Amino acid sequence: MNLVIFGPPGAGKGTQSNFIVKNYNLYQLSTGELLRNEIKNKTKLGIEIFSIMNSGNLVSDEIVSDLIEKFISNDTYKDRLIFDGYPRNKSQAENLNYLLKKYNQKIDLVLKLSVSLDSIKKRISGRSVCSICGKIYNEYFNPAPINAECCASKFLQKRSDDTLEIGVKRYQTYEKNIAPVIDFYKQSNLLKVVNGETSISDINSEIGALIEVVKGWL
Ligand code: AMP
């Protein structure tokens, strides 16, 4: 099964992908994470995209397509990918279908997490990630456990684009590009809209139920 999960920045794509990975043995392919790794490792690409990412804009379709093709073409990940943060515009949605077809695969379910801009602002400003295990926390809704070994506060890091100003810009970029992607997946009957404003565990359950239905068809 291949899944797409999308929603505005801070909608919970990463948190919900962690849940799906754990329960369904899929692999989370986060384009944002792949791009951040390039920046962290100071690669040529990382240097090229640093200012684009920190302005809240999208990097070019070609760059992201090359990154994801490496995974789609790799048998280790065949039919077990969660596309987190891809596609973000219509041409990426078409490209994803093209690439999957090229490697004899398809998308089985598309999840859209809906969250308001007000909630997004709180989520982005409170978000941190454990640099050891990658778990995502929020100081307001989902604080890291006190006295934890792995997720101790000294290991928690904030993303450089998780400021209020860049967050709002990222939200606007999302809104500007996403309508045709929604139509694209509505037409192929793959789209399920999930209310991303309820509790993490309620969203886990809703997504789990949707995946079970699709699993029954495969
Ligand atoms: P994310 O971690 O999904 O919030 O992505 C962080 C940033 O990475 C975005 O604001 C974009 O600059 C870039 N990015 C991630 N995915 C894509 C994509 N599919 N297309 C273009 N840029 C992307």
Ligand 1 centroid – CA 174 distance (Å): 10
Give per-residue pLDDT as tens, 30-75. Answer: 999 999 999 999 999 999 999 999 999 999 999 999 999 999 999 9
**Does the beta carbon of 123 lie inside 6 Å of ligand 1?**
no
pTM exceeds cut of 0.85? yes
Q: Which residues pair with 138 in a beta bridge?
A: 127, 142
Amino acid 54 reads N
Helix (H, G, I), strand (E, B) or coil at 32: helix
Look over the chain and give the mean of its residue pLDDT values, rounded to a whole number: 95
**Residue with structure tokens 């450089």?**
160
Q: Is the pLDDT of residue 146 over 90?
A: no
Ligand 1 centroid – CA 71 distance (Å): 17
**Does the beta carbon of 112 lie inside 6 Å of ligand 1?**
no
Closest CA relative to residue 15, chosen from 152, 163, 175, 142: 142
Give per-residue pLDDT as tens, 99-134. Answer: 999 999 999 999 999 999 999 999 999 999 999 998
Q: What are phi and psi of 90, to 5 degrees?
A: -65, -40
Q: Is the pLDDT of residue 218 over 90?
A: no
Q: Return the best residue to mutate from 18, 59, 63 for the ligand 1 pocket (most ligand atoms within 8 A of CB).
A: 59
Q: Which residues pair with 128 in a beta bridge?
A: 137
Ligand 1 centroid – CA 12 distance (Å): 14
Cβ-contact 211, 120 below 8 angstroms: no
Amino acid 19 reads F
Confidence of residue 148 (pLDDT cuts 50, 70, 90): confident
Helix (H, G, I), strand (E, B) or coil at 176: helix
